[in-house]
């Protein structure tokens, strides 16, 4: 189990397992947030504090809801707005202790243009 939290601790998560890879995206919102992201099935993510208390921002093409802590503003995760794509969510890896992520490969995804990996 991996623990994650926003800066103020109002939002806390438990992730079922260590991720395999970190993914950095250059789309218009991810490049501003900074990421990188780790991905899980929603059943692998448990909110231990602040469940349902994040604030969602639904961007551009309205396919993702980007969530942030209402107190400290840290982006915590994203969820698909399409029920057919609800089997994956992104967690901001910045919420995780860097020791837990040490040695993970970083992949770069071109979400701004080609929708392919750049590495």
- The H or E element containing residue 100 is helix 98-101
pLDDT of residue 18: 97
61-67 mean pLDDT: 92
pLDDT of residue 60: 79
CA geometry: angle at 37 spanning 113 and 53, to 5°?
115
Which of 3-39 are b and which e, b meaning 16 or more Cβ less than 10 Å from the residue's Cβ? ebbbeeebbbbebeeebeebbbbebebbeebebbbbe
Query: What are the structural domain ranges in the chain?
Result: 2-109
Q: What is the DSSP letter of 26?
A: -
The predicted model scores a pTM of 0.94
- C-alpha distances out from residue 13 to 29, 37, 82, Å: 22, 14, 23
What's 2-109's CATH class?
mainly beta
Confidence of residue 109 (pLDDT cuts 50, 70, 90): very high
Does residue 59 carry a pLDDT above 90? no
């Amino acid at each position: 189990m991996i623990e994650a939290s926003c800066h103020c601790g109002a939002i806390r998560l438990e992730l079922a397992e260590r991720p395999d890879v970190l993914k950095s995206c250059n789309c218009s919102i991810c490049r501003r947030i900074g990421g990188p992201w780790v991905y899980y099935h929603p059943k692998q993510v448990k909110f231990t504090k602040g469940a349902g208390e994040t604030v969602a921002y639904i961007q551009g093409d309205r396919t993702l809801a980007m969530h942030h802590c209402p107190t400290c503003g840290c982006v915590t995760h994203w969820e698909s707005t399409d029920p057919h794509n609800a089997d994956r969510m992104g967690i901001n890896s910045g919420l995780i202790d860097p020791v837990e992520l040490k040695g993970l490969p970083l992949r770069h995804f071109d979400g701004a243009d080609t929708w392919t990996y750049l590495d």
